[in-house]
Amino acid sequence: MPRPRDTAGGPPQIPRRTALLGGIGALGAAALLSGCSSAGQSAAPVLAEGSATGSPRPGGVLRMARPPASQAETLDPASSLSAYEYLGALYNRLVRTDENGETAPDLAESWESSGDGTVWTFRLRDRVPFHDGSRLTSADAAYTVRRLVDPELASPQGTVLAPLIDPKKVHTPEPGVLRVELTEPNFEFPALLTNYNCYVVPDGSGAEIGSTGVGTGPFRLESFSPGGRGRVVAFDEHWAGPPVLDAIEMFAMTDIQARTNALLAGQVDLLSQTNLDFATARVVQASERATIARSANAQWYVLPMLTTAEPFTDVRVRTAMKLAYDPQHVVDVALQGTGVVGDDNPVPPGTPYRSDYAVPRDPERARALLAEAGVPGLRVDLYTSSYDPVFTPMALAYRDSAAEAGIEVTVRNASADSYYTQIWMNRPLMATYWYTGRPADQLLNQVFRSGSPYNETAWSDEVFDGLLDDARRAADPDRRRTLYQDAQRRIVDEGGAMTPMFADRLVGISKEVLNYRETGFEFDYLDIGLRP
């Protein structure tokens, strides 16, 4: 199920990052950018820390090193194998997520719902051009939405939208108006369209969009080779104005060491979708040509307990596992100051609907619960791998912390190549992570709802599911917030996921780059530029 790219709905949005920069491992995971706390940031933070802002020179070419999805990657935004870095340059959504984590206008200027939250009407911007000269109409938006829920396409976002959308009830009453009649009330529906699979494509373009890349974005496609090199050039007719840059050149490099060395040598300007390990980031930051930009709380790390496997079928054991460890110790060891504690809650700090509910560590209570469950002196295997440099230190820190409660944890390293096919959702206890940026409704329903294909703990709880259903139907925002927060309490108290921490993402960029800002895990293609 997981792929070495985001399945956006699905398995963690997995950056491909496995190798340390050659020759620098001895530096260790020293603290980076000391004094920079990430507490209180939004789900979709604007990334400014560490990156320079100013007035860039008009034009210029930005060179980006990117890890390819595969030789089968495509420019189709609805695909699980989309070449992600091209999408924000080529396309726009109906709505987007702003720097505060709120849903904001993009191709839709405004939207409104019926009183019961079942009918949503979007009013589109006027005279928005596609790269091929045609004009955006509601027919394009309707085609995009219907296509996302087409089971034959199997878009990752289809698992989220299909239960809500009947393609026959997606209407175009006027060229500039899209109306969607939902199968059930959902007052969070626009937020579900901010996902990157939801970029708008021209009506009827499904057969060729994967190679043409025709959209309404600030750049148009000049060349694209799956798994290889490509180039996008400025689209001067973009509805929000032309971009600063003349072009962006994409270089596909599978190996993180090669990408980082290219940055240090001045051969590329940006390491897109590459989260650097601490030692590599320290070397990049100390170099003459490059620096580190930092996206606060961009990833959440998880130790999922499979609730269908012993001993985690017993909620007392799951609770003991959570009470046994000190999340601050895990943050200190695994993140070296580049993150915050998670308190076993997957909704990021500082975001809409986040609950501050937390259960203090209590090793003695953990011991008592294990004895009550008939498993005193519990022994468990915790699987990890070199797939992500944080996995093993997180696992070891948990092991050491949980020992005080009498839990004996054996950390077992598995192959990185098969980790997400052989270990994830197959072993009772393992390490993983997800990118943040999903709206709370999508996050909670995709990753924790009963029966979801991405429910990595296989936890099934009718009370939790009912809270989510009630939240979607609640017209009052305060009532909706309360219900989502109650659902988070249920995860903390009953669920199978331990969330020790949220981690900052460390991105390597050239010192020549200005205005690198990131929302979620997508940067601002319109205003990024190079120094005069």
In a domain, 523, yes or no: no
Domain match, 314 and 444 both: yes
Domain enclosing residue 133, as ranges: 75-217
Give residue 27's pLDDT: 28
**Residue 191 pLDDT greater than 50, yes or no:** yes
- The predicted model gives 255-280 an average pLDDT of 87
CATH code (residue 79): 3.90.76.10
Among 169, 184, 217, the domain-final residue is 217
Q: Which of 23-32, 124-133, 260-269 has the lowest mean pLDDT?
A: 23-32
Domain match, 301 and 162 both: no
| CA 57/CA 531 separation, integer angstroms | 6
Give residue 39's pLDDT: 31
Percent of the chain with pLDDT over 70: 90
In a domain, 48, yes or no: no
Domain match, 210 and 306 both: no
- The predicted model gives 360-389 an average pLDDT of 95
In a domain, 452, yes or no: yes
Cβ atoms of 446 and 431 within 8 Å: the answer is: no
| CA 273/CA 71 separation, integer angstroms | 17
Domain match, 345 and 464 both: yes
Per-residue pLDDT band at 36 (split at 50, 70, 90): very low
pTM: 0.81
pLDDT 10s digits, 382-436? 999 988 888 999 999 999 999 999 999 999 999 988 898 899 999 999 999 998 8
Cβ atoms of 47 and 517 within 8 Å: the answer is: yes
Give residue 41's pLDDT: 28
Domain match, 89 and 210 both: yes
**Residue 202 pLDDT greater than 60, yes or no:** yes
Nearest to 259 by CA among 530, 508, 518: 508
Three-class secondary structure of residue 180 per DSSP = strand
CATH code (residue 406): 3.10.105.10
> Cβ neighbours of residue 29 under 8 Å, at least 6 residues apart?
277, 278, 279, 336, 393
Give residue 520's pLDDT: 61
In a domain, 413, yes or no: yes
- The predicted model gives 284-308 an average pLDDT of 92
Domain match, 322 and 453 both: yes
In a domain, 50, yes or no: no
Domain match, 209 and 302 both: no
Average pLDDT over the chain reads 88
In a domain, 31, yes or no: no
Among 217, 250, 274, the domain-final residue is 217
Cβ atoms of 383 and 425 within 8 Å: the answer is: no
In a domain, 228, yes or no: no
- The predicted model gives 44-54 an average pLDDT of 59
- The predicted model gives 132-147 an average pLDDT of 98
- Tally the domains of the chain: 2
Cβ atoms of 48 and 33 within 8 Å: the answer is: no
Q: Pick the residue with more confidence: 70 or 420? A: 420
